[in-house]
Each structure stands twice: as structure tokens, then as C-alpha cells.
Chains A and B, each alone.
Chain A
């Protein structure tokens, strides 16, 4: 079904916002598509979260409204036509804010909660405490879906090393507290503890991480007292990698909060293997689940000794950390997913809850395959896209293939260029969906730089994915609603949103052609579902399988399938004549972009031409924004299919300068023409082709490039024979047999995921 979420405001770093994105991940895993809407959206996050006004009645089967402090959206939900549930994040008791402007919205939030109870189909508490309050407010159906923490995001290697080094350089013990600097968090009690701890350890430090209203008298008083005590730092909010560094560097985590509806930082500290000492108020005891160390009274001198004991007693410390690790199982994504599945039972309107396997049809009926790819069409350039089209067309003889794609043609901007709706490409049915948002490359590159530099939380990675795009909510909805119509769903390229968000929706019948390269996004945990959940990963080369196994040890079953390549009749002389080429030439066919290594290739070729008077001409065929100027450089623009084969057969060698290749159709097509290749040594896939075929050379700098060209030039004929021999491995009938077998496995329910 389609489940949208609505929350008052979306701000990165905020617990409710993180919960909504986390819930969306779980919903997908349960087979439900849906978007997140918010009353206010932080600047720059419009790709991930849409404004509340865009949420239309009838656009979904269920809305999950996140409720906390008073919000005008509660009134909107009271008039909502359709089923909705309330996810309750608790409201701080108003007594902590008596006499301030916050007092009334806190009470108002509780009044709104009671009013929602009469209309909501279900109340979801993120803890037992919240569930009890939902029941007290009058909700007839209440369940608990705990917030979850992805432990791996708090591993050592995710920490900002520089920040950790700076933090480690100072007095000990270092006590850490994470949370907003507001009255009910009782920072004053942390300071009282710190004062007692300084009496035992004069160099003790207290690090308080979290946002605070510095103008308020309460905050000013805290800062004044902290200055008097010494050794206290108010860091404000930290980036995720810095936060991990803080958890990993501190000696102990202390919570003095007098009200927590759940207490996410307690679980984060557990995930970062930091002993937790917490005041057992409200939901804290429940979140701790009997692990860590909970105290029921604030006797500061005793607590200071307790902190000291936990820091000094290695055995006690180890037992606490070990117990906390066990506690994390109950607060894992899997536990939350099961609880959410239970909460949503019976709430579906009419759609199937999850994509079930299609029933086996009697007689010889062609299996149905949905093929999801970010762009599709004869005029679309791109290796993965061409790969997808070849598979679709060749399989369509005995499989009903339906391509689910976008209306975009340009992979940089995702500008809508095709008409949405159904069309045909020969025997292949194509269904196009509109892209909601164009990509702005400059801003995206800046964001990528930032995200690739260090470890991220789930919100940051999902935000990057949304900016990467293409964002096509209707495609996700189609998958969620119509998956039962297909026997298998194949996804091409792991890197884009339709795959990352689509695979979990139909995991049990998903086949993924990842085309994975060793590149920064592959390190994002947001892609784990793409590699770990499908029925099988159909890879292009053994190198790709190895890379995936290294990055995702729990990856699904892998299989090298690749593509078949068969060269048509081709004549090099025809190409040379048509384009007026004299003498030998090196040919590159593909997008003329810096990301493909073309800029670097041009530079290496300039050096080659400068050094050798008989250097071959570099011919570049394909569209692109990179200017191709220079001596003995020819840019032909886009060329026909026949011209490409003619050009390859007459070339001295095909050049592949890209570092990020998972197959390289260009190299395979060159081999099929009996033409050797000159490739970037940094790509293990390309180097693997060269090593296995013995039909080419690799380069990693100007010297290597010159040497590779010289070696290929000296042995063009024998290398060509070896190229032809190697190309016989890429046979279409074997490739299509593998596809048919995998589709049949999905159809019959055989070959479960994660078989290794």
C-alpha cells in the first residue's frame, strides 16, 4: 500500500525527522511506498521531504502523522478523509516550562492528542511509556514501534579522526551528555556531578553536545556556572562523524534528563560501546532494558564515585558494554520492522500488504519481467542504459518485458524529455513516469563532496540519494501496487534512487544488475538494501563480485552474467574515409565528461603528441560538455551504430580512460572487432579484461599511456587475434539462459536471498 508520513517540521538532527526517515526505510522493507511531508522543511531538503500542502486526500492508503508539541497539522488530520495513524513521540510535561511561552504548546499538544484519539485508526508509541499515554488519551488501538539505531553507523571508522584526536587531548575522565540544553534535560545536574567529579579527578571534563537557546536566562546561568567549574564544553550540535568521535572518545555517557519519551542518544552511546549511566526517569529505564547502569536518585557525590568506578574498573566496564551490545538487538531495525508490520495489520485499504509472488499460471505462459532503469530509449546514451535495453529486447522473444523508467533523457539534470505513460520499443512495453525534480549539478557536487568526506547518518545519506535522483514517486507507487503482476523485477544500476528505494519494495522477486564501481557512494549504508535484500545480484565481472563481497559481506547471491557481444560486418576503411582520417587512430566512444576520465585522457594525449611526431590521432565519438581541442584530437560528436563498429574495427586500439567501470561495453565491442584496448589501470574491471584477454595494455600516467600505445602499435595483429578469442566468451545465448533461469527462480520462489 501507499503510506505517506506527515510531520510538523523537518530539520536534520531532530529526532522526529530522523524517525520519519527511518520509518520510511522500514515501510519500504514491508513493501509500502510513500513520501514524507512536513509543515516546515529545512532549506535544501526539498528533494527528500515535500511540503505538507502537497499532501492530497486520496493520494495514499494511509497517513502516519507524527505528533509531539502542538501543531496546526493536528487540526488538519482531524478533518482528513481517509485512514490515518498517529506516531506519538511524547510531549515534555508542561511543569518543566511553567511561566514560559513553551508551557501552552506543550499542554495544547496533549489536548490535540486526545482529540486525535477519536479519529485515528491506530496510535503508535515509540516506547511503552508513549503507548500508555496514547491509551490514557483515549486511543482504542495502540502499539509500540521502538525507534531504532543502525549500530554500524557508530563504528570506529565512521568517526571524524581529527575531531577525536583533539577531543582525546585533554584531562580525564571525559563525561559525555547529548541532548538539547533545555530545562528538563537537567544540565544543572550534570554540572553538579562534574563539580563532585573534579573533587576526585581535578582534570575531569564534561562535554555537552546539543542545541540550546543561548539568549535564555536558563542557558546563561548554566554557562556562568560551567565557567566557574572549568573543564566544561558546550559544543552545540555536531556533524554525525564528530558525534561518533565524541561517543568513541568519551569515558562514560551520563544522562540526568528528567523526561525522555525514548532517549535516542542512550542507544547511540550503546552502539558506540560507551558505558551509559542514566537517571531512570520516564522511558529511560525501558530504553535501557536492564542494561547499562540506571540510577533512581541523584546523589551527586555517590554518582561521581560511580563514574570513577566505571572508568577505572575494566571488568565492570566490559560487562556493561557487553550487556549494552545485547540490548541493541531489541532496538535493531529488524525488531522495529516487525513491530511496524504488526502495527499496520488490518489498516490496508485494498492493496496487498507486501508484494507477494505471482501465482503460477497454468500452461505455457510467458513469464512477466519488469525492468527498472533510470533512463531508457534508443537515443539515450550510457553503458548501463544500453545494457538494460539489450537485455529487454533480447529477452522479449520469450519473456513479457515491461520497462519501468522515467521521462528523463539527460542523466545530469533528469529534465523531463519523453512523454509520460505507455509506449513500445519493438516487442518491449515501456511505461514512463515523470521525474518530480530536476538535479542542479553544482549544488549536488558540493553536497557529494561533503557527504563523501566522512561518515553520515541515515538522513544525510537519504538526502544525498534524493538529490542524486531521479525522484519518481509514481514509479515507487507502481511497484508497491502492481508488483504482484510481475514474476520478477530487474533493477539496473545500484546508484540511483529508483533502484535504492525500489529494491526493498519487491525484494523477494528483485534481480539487481548493480554495475558497481569502487566509488564513494558504495560506502553508504543506504545502499545495503540494494545489495543484501534482492533474490540475486547479476554482476558483470568477477572483479565486481569481489568488490561487492568486500563492501557488503551479507550480500545476496551473486552471479556473473554480463552481456553478449556480437560484431556486425564492419569496415575500418569506410569509417576513415567518412570522417577524413589518415593514419592510425585511437578511438574512444562514450560520453565526453570529466567523470569518464576524458579530460585526463586529453591531457595524456597532448603529452604523447608533444613527444612523438608519429603519435596516432585520438578520435572521440559521443556527446558531452567537455571541450575536445588539441593537436591530433578529433571530436566527432554522436555517431551511428554502424560507424561505431566500423571505427572500432579500423582503430589501432580502443581507449577506455574511465576509472569507474563495472563491465565496459566499449572494451568488449572492441574485442569483438578484433581490436585491442588501452585502458585505465586504476579500474580493476578493465585491468581484469586486459589480463584475461592478453589483448591490450593499461596505463596510469603519461609515461604509461605512451608505453601502452607503443606496445599496442607494435603488436596490433597478434593482439587482435587474442581479442577475438576472448570476445567469444561473451555469448548472448549463455547470458539469456542465465536471465531466464533467474526469472524462473523468482517465479517459483526458489533461490532465496543471502545464500552467499
Chain B
């Protein structure tokens, strides 16, 4: 275990802790380590497609939960469980069309997302082509100095 802090000596404090443990005849085993990394980016299009796909079936149940505590909470969970077990046939019947509709939404989104991705790729390649074609700017030529004595042409 590592201790961090600039207002004390971590080594001395850890020595004190170890001595106290030893005096009680104890030794401490390893424990979970701290993580401080960032979470990975979640691509919106991929996530939305995945979410649409996983929820397309409107007849599938969500995890059984309640915020209520005590007996009331248990009763609510029990009622929900009984409802699902006994009424699944009716649920299927009531939400059948919704499930079909959700499937179309999912597929449409997938097709649109795919089309958008290919357009983005095309746009990127066009940009690259344009960048390659644009000639490097020429260095400005020094302006010719006109001698103050040279006579001007009559206009």
C-alpha cells in the first residue's frame, strides 16, 4: 500500500502502521488498487445502433427493480414478477406491432448511419485531394524600385 501526501512522511507513517499491526500479531494482505485512468470514448452512432437493437423487442422485460425499501419494496418486486410471469402472452399481443416498428427504426438508423459514414469518408478523401492539388504559395517577388530620376511615361 502506498500513501500519498506532502504534509507528513509517508514512509514514517507506514512504519508506524506496520509496527502497530505487528504488535497485534497481524499481517495485511493485498487489496484493490486505485485506478485513475479516463474512460474510453463511446461512439454515438455505434452506441445508438446497439441501444436500438437491444431494445427493439418491446416485449422483453427490463431488470426487476424498485427504489422502495422494506416489505413494501419486496411486495412491489413480487407483484412485478407475478405480472410478467402470468401476462407475458398479453404483453406480446399488445406490443407486437411496436416491436415490428422498432425493428424498422433500428434498420433505418443503421442504413442512415452507414450512408453518413460513407459520405464522411468521401468528404475526407476529397479534402485530401484538394490539399494535395493546391500549389505551395510562391514567395513574393521584390518590387522593382523606380529611380526617382527616371522620367514617368506620359499617360
Q: Does B151 contact A (CB under 8 A)?
A: no
Query: Contacts A215-B66, A306-B13; is A110 near B41 (CB within 8 Å)?
Result: yes
Q: Which residues of the partner chain A approach B65 to less than 8 Å between Cβ atoms?
A: 100-101, 215-216
> Are B43's CB and A111's CB within 8 A?
yes
Q: Is B69 an interface residue (CB 8 A)?
A: yes
B44 near A114 with CB under 8 A, answer yes
Q: How far is the CB of B89 from chain A (nearest CB, A)?
A: 24
Q: Is the CB of A215 within 8 A of B41?
A: no
Bound complex: CA A294 to CA B5 (Å): 6
Asked if A320 is an interface residue, CB under 8 A from chain B, the answer is: yes
Summarize B's interface: helix, strand, loop or mixed: loop
Q: A110-B41, A291-B6, A301-B28 are in contact. Are A280 and B73 (CB under 8 A)?
A: no
Taken together as a complex, chains A and B put the C-alpha atoms of A285 and B1 apart, in Å, by 15
Residues 292-316 of A, flagged 1 when their CB comes within 8 A of B and 0 if not, give 1111111111100110110000001
Give residues 6-44 of B contacting A (CB, 8 Å). 6-8, 13, 16-18, 20-21, 24, 26, 28-36, 38-44
B-to-A contact residues, CB < 8 Å:
1-8, 13, 16-18, 20-21, 24, 26, 28-36, 38-44, 47-48, 51, 62-63, 65-70, 72-73, 76-77
The answer to whether B42 touches A110 (Cβ under 8 A) is yes
For A547, list chain B residues within 8 Å (CB).
none
- Is residue A108 within 8 Å, beta carbon to beta carbon, of the partner chain? yes
Chain A residues, CB < 8 A from B67: 213-216
* CB pair A309 B17 closer than 8 Å: yes
Is the pair B47, A282 in contact by a Cβ cutoff of 8 Å?
no
Contact at B44–A115, with CB atoms within 8 Å?
Answer: yes
**CB atoms of B47 and A111 under 8 A apart:** yes
Q: Are B38 and A293 in contact (CB under 8 A)?
A: no
* B5 cross-chain contacts in A, Cβ below 8 A: 288, 290-294, 320, 323
Question: Which residues of A from 215 to 247 have beta carbons under 8 Å from B?
Answer: 215-216, 219-220
* Closest Cβ–Cβ distance, residue A719 to chain B (whole Å): 66
Query: Do B7 and A291 touch across chains, with their CB atoms under 8 A apart?
Result: yes
Expressed in whole angstroms, the minimum distance between the Cβ of A618 and any Cβ of chain B is 60
Asked if B51 and A99 sit within 8 Å, CB to CB, the answer is no
Which listed residue, B3, B26, B38, touches A301 by the CB 8 Å rule?
B26
Query: Given that A111-B43, A219-B69 are known contacts, is A297 also in contact with B33, CB under 8 Å in the complex?
Result: yes
Q: B41, A305: Cβ atoms under 8 Å? A: no
Q: Is the CB of A112 within 8 A of B44?
A: yes
Tell me the bound Cα distance from A489 to B39 in angstroms: 49
**What are the residues of chain B within 8 A of A281 when measuring CB–CB?**
34-36
Given A111-B44, A302-B17, A305-B17, CB of A258 within 8 Å of CB of B35:
yes
- Assembly CA distance A297 to B7 (angstroms): 20
Chain A, 79-138, CB within 8 A of any chain B CB: 91, 93, 99-101, 104, 107-108, 110-115, 129, 132-133, 136-138
- Give the complex CA separation of A126 and B99 in angstroms: 41
Tell me if B33 and A138 are in contact (CB < 8 A): no
Kindly identify which residue among A101, A133, A138 contacts B38, using a CB–CB cutoff of 8 Å: A133
Q: In the complex, how many angstroms separate the beta carbon of A100 from the nearest chain B beta carbon?
A: 6
- Measured CB to CB, the nearest residue on chain A to B65 is A101
Interface assignment of A707: CB less than 8 Å from any CB of chain B: no
- Give me the 3 closest cross-chain CB pairs, A-B, nearest first: A214-B69, A215-B73, A323-B7
Asked if A107 meets B8 with Cβ closer than 8 Å, knowing A282-B35, A283-B36, the reply is no
Contact sample, A vs B, 18 pairs, CB 8 Å cutoff: A108-B51, A213-B69, A215-B73, A215-B77, A216-B65, A216-B66, A258-B32, A280-B36, A281-B35, A291-B7, A293-B3, A294-B4, A295-B2, A297-B1, A297-B30, A297-B34, A306-B17, A322-B7
Q: Which residue of A lies closest to B54 (CB)?
A: A104
4 more contacts with CB within 8 A, not counting A108-B51, A214-B73, A290-B5, are: A214-B67, A285-B36, A292-B7, A295-B3
Asked if residues B8 and A293 are in contact (CB atoms below 8 Å), the reply is: yes
**Digit string of A357-370 for contact with B (CB within 8 Å is 1, else 0)?**
00000000000000
A219-B69, A319-B8 known; A99+B41 contact, CB < 8 A: no
CB distance from A9 to the nearest CB of B (A): 15
Q: Judging by beta carbons under 8 Å apart, are A214 and B68 in contact?
A: yes
Q: For residue A101, which residues in chain B have a CB less than 8 angstroms away from its CB?
A: 62-63, 65
Closest CB in chain B relative to A10 CB, distance in Å: 20
A300 touches B63 (CB 8 A): no
Residues of chain A lying within 8 A (CB to CB) of residue B1: 295-297, 299, 302
Tell me whether A305 and B21 are in contact in the complex, defined as CB-CB below 8 angstroms, given that A114-B42, A316-B13 are known contacts.
yes
| Residues on the A chain within 8 Å of B47, using CB | 107-108, 110-111
* A486 sits at the interface (CB 8 A): no
Chain B residues near A214: list those with CB within 8 A.
Answer: 67-70, 73
**Chain A's interface: helix, strand, loop or mixed, by majority?**
helix
Q: Could you say which residues of chain A place their CB within 8 Å of the CB of B33?
A: 296-297
Q: When chains A and B are docked, how far (Å) is the Cα of A637 from the Cα of B42?
A: 70
Complex: A283 Cα to B37 Cα, angstroms: 9
Partner of B51, one of A104, A219, A294, A323: A104
- Bound-complex Cα distance A88 to B13 (A): 37
Nearest opposing residue in chain B for A111, CB measure: B47
Chain B residues lying within 8 Å of A110, measured Cβ to Cβ, are: 39, 41-42, 47
* Inter-chain contacts of B16 with A (CB < 8 A): 305, 309
In the bound assembly, the distance between CA atoms of A293 and B47 in angstroms comes to 39
Chain A: CB-nearest residue to B48: A111
Does A279 lie at the interface of the complex (its beta carbon under 8 Å from any beta carbon of B)? Answer: yes
Docked-complex contact B44 and A316, CB < 8 angstroms: no
The CA-CA distance from A136 to B54 in the complex, in Å, is 26
Counting chain B CB atoms within 10 Å of each CB, the highest count among A282, A285, A295 belongs to A295
Q: Are B69 and A297 in contact (CB under 8 A)?
A: no
- Closest CB of chain B to A338's CB: distance in Å? 24
- What is the CA–CA distance of A100 and B65 in the complex, to the nearest angstrom? 8
* Minimum CB distance partner of B68 in chain A: A215
- Could you say which residues of chain B place their CB within 8 Å of the CB of A296? 1-4, 33-34
CB <8 Å contact, B38 and A298: no
Q: Which of B7, B17, B29, B72 has the most CB of A within 10 A?
A: B7
Q: Which residue of chain B has its CB nearest to the CB of A306? A: B17
List of A residues within 8 angstroms of B30 by Cβ:
297, 299
Identify which of B32, B40, B43 contacts A298 (C-beta below 8 A): B32
For residue A365, give the distance in angstroms from its CB to the closest CB of chain B.
Answer: 49
Are B76 and A302 in contact (CB-based, < 8 A)? Answer: no
Task: Give chain B nearest CB distance to A194 CB in angstroms.
Answer: 15
How far apart sit A301 and B66, CA to CA, in the bound complex (Å)?
35
Q: Which residues of A contact B43 (CB under 8 A)?
A: 111, 114
- Chain A contacts of B4 at CB under 8 A? 280, 285, 288, 290, 293-296
Residues on A with beta carbons closer than 8 Å to the beta carbon of B38: 129, 132-133, 136
How many Å lie between the Cα of A552 and that of B16 in the bound state? 45
CB contacts (< 8 Å) of A99 on chain B: these are 63
Q: Shortest beta-carbon distance, A308 to chain B, in Å? A: 7
**Contact A111/B42 with A213-B67, A281-B34, A296-B33 known, Cβ cut-off 8 Å:** yes
CA distance A283 to B63 in the complex (A): 31
Instruction: Give the docked Cα–Cα distance between A215 and B76 (Å).
Output: 10
Contact (Cβ within 8 A) A280 B69:
no
Give the residue among B32, B51, B66 with the most A Cβ atoms within 10 A.
B32
Do the beta carbons of B35 and A299 come within 8 Å of each other? no
